[in-house]
Every structure is written in C-alpha cells, then in structure tokens.
Structure 1
Amino acid sequence: MAELVYLYGVIPAKELEKEAFPVVKGLDQQHKVYPLAVNNTLAVVCHLDDQDYSEESIKEKMNNDMEWLREKAFHHHEMLIALNERYNVIPMKFCTIFANEENLRETIEKNEEKLLRSFSLIDGSEEWNLKIYCDDTVLKSYISANNANIEAKKEEISQFPPGKQYFAKRKIEQMVDKELEKEKDKVCENAHAQLRQFSLHETIKKNWNKDVTGREDNMSWNSVYLVPVSHVTGFLQKINELKDTWANLGWKFEATGPWPAYHFAGLS
C-alpha cells in the first residue's frame, strides 16, 4: 500500500535549535507528523493512505461530508497555529498533498529562493486580522440627525405641500443611505490608514456576509497586517482607541491573531 505525503508548512532547519519538534498525530490521526529535511529547510509532513486520501476521495468528501471537512480543516489550522507558536513557519493551504517525498523535495528545491525570501519577510513579525462591523441602524440614525446636507433638505421639504412632501421624504431616505455608505467607507479607510503605519505589509480582503458571520451587524471591513513584534503592542492599542472612539455609533473593531502568515508567506 502506497502512502501520500501531506504538507502542513515549511520551517528553517535552524529553527529546531530553538525548540524540539512536538510529537503529534497527523491528519488521519494515525501517522505521526515529522520534519523532513530539504537543504536548509524542514518540511512538516505526515503520511496518508493513498486510497483514503486520493484526489477523488478528497473531492467526494469535501462535497458530501461537511463533518469530515470541518474536522480535517480544523486539524490543519490548529497544527499550523502550534507550529507558528514555536517556529518561523510558511503555512501551506489545506490538503497540500504530494505523491511521495521525492516530489515534495523537488518542489521545495525549485522554490527555495522564494522560501528564503518569505522567511526573511516574516521573521520577527506576526500576522493580525482586523474585522470592522457596523450596526447600520445606529449609524443611520446618527447621520439622519447630524448630516448638514440632510438637515438642509429636511428644512427645504418642510415648506412643500403635503402631497409633494411624501416623495421628497423618499429622496431623503435615499440620501441617508448614500451618506451611510460614504461614512462607513470613511471610517474604515481612516482606521486602515492609522493601522498600516504599524505594519510592514497589509492587504484588504473581501467582506463576509451575514450568512457567513452569523451576526446581526454588517461586516464593513476585513484586512490583514504583517506587524513587527516590536509594533504589536502599539497596533493593538490603536485598535482599542478606535473601539472607544466609535463604539457609541454602532461600530465594533475585532482584531485576531497572531496567525500563521497565510497572506504574506504562502507558497502555492
């Protein structure tokens, strides 16, 4: 029976000098996870049965067995978090699988220069995620009562006859909606501008809808930052300042991390 090789991530070989490699079970909860030496790097891998984890078998389970998918994806993520706590790790995507160790070695050797650049980039830094949520009802109420353009329009239509006022009020509602989106963009972009000063690199991601978040408020911003360890305290303090500043207007700022450097050191 042949065995496949599952790759979690890659770490510099010298990292094992800092801390011994942990003894843990792999994706199938049978084979152990171990470091495979490839030149100056260590590939963190485990073996898998080639029938249970063939490409066809994995596709079938991903499409029809959500419990299996959640369990295995969670294992992959938790393994990378554990590695990230100990070492400088370049994380791989879930279900990065090779036919054998030889194919894995060839791939890493071909990409060694890119790996070394990535190690240099993320060394001494942490990946942090910021999600900003907004209670549109609260913010819309504030805008409706405090926006100068809307106040002027309200004053103008108060002089209209009753029949004409109805349609004019509908236009005001549309104005409020537009001003709401402008205000949300302004607050989020301003927050991002302040936070990026603490980071080496940052990227803006797609917002999640309510079906994904399971929340009543809307996600208005989703960004990731690569922050030097020396700047993390200031970065988090700034987020707390933003929380305090905007809390009364329906805003919530939620930072999570440190994460493995998924967005800044990935190797496809």
Structure 2
Amino acid sequence: MTESGIYLYAVTSEAGDACLSVRGVLGAPVRKVGAADLAAYVSTVPLDQFGEEPLARLLEDLDWVGEVARAHHRVVEAVAEAGPTAPVRLVTVYSGEEQVRELLERRHDDFLAVLSRVAGRREWGVKAYVDPDAASRTAEGAAGRESSAGREATTGRTGAGPGTAYLQRRKENLHNRQDLWRQAVARAERLHAALGEIAVAGRRHRPQDPQLSGRREWMVLNGAYLVEEDRGAEFAAAVAAFREAASAAGPGEGAGMDVELTGPWAPYSFTAVELETEGGEGGAR
C-alpha cells in the first residue's frame, strides 16, 4: 500500500462546512482538522508523489505543478467564502493529522494575528506589461523619419557604407529599448504608489517567467494588494483608468503598456506564517 501524507491548504478560525464538497489535490476529498479553536483544511495525498524526493522531481513538471496549484486554489477560495482565511503555501505536506494539530497549537497566536489582519479584506493582483518590439518600432519609425536625411548626408560626405548604417541602427534600437524600459518602470512605480493609496497593503512580487505568465512582453509590475471589500470597485476603477490612459499615451509617454487586473482572491500574499521550521513543509518527512 502506498504511504500517504496530509496536504494542508488553509487555516481559519471560522470553520464552515461549505468547502468540504470541493475536491482537492488529485481529486481527494477535503476535511477539517481542528485544534485550539482553529481549523485546518486538508486532504490525503500519496507520498510516491508528495514525498520529499519524488516531489523535488515533480516540481520541475509545469503541467503537474499547474494542476496542483489549480486544485489548491479551488479549496482555498471555497474556505475563504466562509470567513477570514490564511492560505498555506503550495505543496505543504505533513506526515499525519497529529502533526497538523500540533502546528495549530504551536502557532495559534500567529494564525490568529494573520486572520485578524485579513478579515473583511481580499487580495487583488495587478500586472503591467510592455511590448518592447512594438514600442521600439514606433520610436524607431519616428526617429528614422526625422534623421534619415541627416544620415544620408553624412553617408555621402564620409563614404560610410551599409555596414556602418546597420551598426548605427542597432545602436539606436538599443537606446530606444533602454529608454522604453526606464519609462515603463517609472510608470509602473507610479501605478503601484497610486494603488497603495487605496489598498491597506501592497506587495511587489518578482516578475513571472514567460512560461508561467503566458506572455512574452516585459513584466514591469507584478503587484498584490490587500483591499477592503467595500473598496474593491474603487480599486478596479483606478486600474481601469490607468489602463485607459496608458493605451492613449503617445511615444515617450508610456505607450505600449498593458495592465492586467485579477481578483479578488483569498489573501495569499498577506498571510505568511513561516512553517518551514516545523519540519513538514515541501514534502512530508
């Protein structure tokens, strides 16, 4: 018989039963494990996939990781519908339910502090992208029209050939991309600051790999924002206004920036309770 572990999704102080109809990782049923007036939502997983050694290999399989992440998110969102929720990091596996109960008792105050912080609040995600090729073509076209006559005159005087003209174009393209990057980063900073005026808290994550984002453009903002539930519409409107302004901007004003809004979600980015010292995270031991 394959040995099993306990996959932990989330912790809450308001234990409801609505999410128990949701299937978890690998289609496993979800159940509650309670201790110290807290409830952990878990399911059983096989250690031939979620044990420490096989897990290290499977985490390199993006399809496998994506399937697990979708199931994890599905359970967390169902739990969050019932009340304040502290999602646990993806692929947190313990050896048994008793270890989960010990966790709830040992980190009781930490979990309560997190749950109090996120009560009545949801997480929104904002990503900003810039297409360097499209914007560079726009800038190059404008610069080319302005300087074509001058370049032709210079070529005629100096005898410079096609090779020199090619190198000059490459140099101008590099400068255009560098300018575009600086402009895009500056606009992303302004967007992050503006959204921070509405949100209770904001956090910038590292840009996603294009394989995960599904987009080849530069990601200049990968932000998460904790927003009061009654200000969600205001937050979404602020993002929409920025997106509209960016689409109407001309060369040198931030043209080519696309802003993507996701959410509202359970507050993944604002519920960190460090569990790695518990000896159970990232594969049961």
The TM-score with structure 2 as length reference comes to 0.77
SS class of match (2:219): strand
CA offset at residue 3 of structure 1?
Answer: 4.8
- Give RMSD over aligned pairs: 3.1
2:33–2:42 contact (8 Å) kept in structure 1: yes
For 1:8, the equivalent position in structure 2 comes to 9
**Aligned with residue 103 of structure 2, among 101, 107, 125:** 107
| Counterpart residue identity of residue 212, structure 2 | V
| Counterpart residue identity of residue 33, structure 2 | L
For 2:281, the equivalent position in structure 1 comes to none
SS class of match (1:266): coil
Q: 1:219 to 1:9 in 2, by over 3 A?
A: same
Mind listing any 5+ residue stretches in structure 1 that lack a counterpart? none
1:209–1:218 contact (8 Å) kept in structure 2: no
CA offset at residue 109 of structure 1?
Answer: 1.3
For 2:84, the equivalent position in structure 1 comes to 88
2:76–2:266 contact (8 Å) kept in structure 1: yes
CA offset at residue 137 of structure 1?
Answer: 3.4
Please give the alpha-carbon distance, in whole angstroms, between the structure 2 residues aligned to 1:254 and 1:99. Answer: 39
For 2:185, the equivalent position in structure 1 comes to 185
Can you list the C-alpha shifts for 1:39-98, whole angstroms capped at 9, x where unaligned? Answer: 1211111234556643334345445x6654433332112111222233311111222122
For 1:56, the equivalent position in structure 2 comes to 53
Q: 1:22 to 1:107 in 2, by over 3 A?
A: closer
**Aligned with residue 256 of structure 1, among 258, 262, 268:** 262
SS class of match (1:92): strand
2:19–2:75 contact (8 Å) kept in structure 1: no
CA offset at residue 180 of structure 1?
Answer: 1.3
Q: 1:242 to 1:39 in 2, by over 3 A?
A: same
Work out the number of aligned pairs and report it: 259
Matched, 1:210 2:207: no
Matched, 1:241 2:241: yes
For 1:44, the equivalent position in structure 2 comes to 41
Instruction: Judge which range, 174-183 or 43-52, deviates more.
Output: 43-52
1:130–1:254 contact (8 Å) kept in structure 2: yes
For 1:161, the equivalent position in structure 2 comes to 154
For 2:222, the equivalent position in structure 1 comes to 222
Q: 1:214 to 1:67 in 2, by over 3 A?
A: closer
2:23–2:75 contact (8 Å) kept in structure 1: no
For 1:74, the equivalent position in structure 2 comes to 70
For 2:251, the equivalent position in structure 1 comes to none
2:22–2:74 contact (8 Å) kept in structure 1: no
Please give the alpha-carbon distance, in whole angstroms, between the structure 2 residues aligned to 1:56 and 1:170. Answer: 48
Instruction: Judge which range, 213-222 or 98-107, deviates more.
Output: 213-222
Instruction: Judge which range, 176-185 or 253-262, deviates more.
Output: 176-185
For 1:29, the equivalent position in structure 2 comes to 27
SS class of match (2:89): coil
1:8–1:80 contact (8 Å) kept in structure 2: yes
Please give the alpha-carbon distance, in whole angstroms, between the structure 2 residues aligned to 1:209 and 1:38. Answer: 39
Percentage identity across paired residues of the two chains: 23
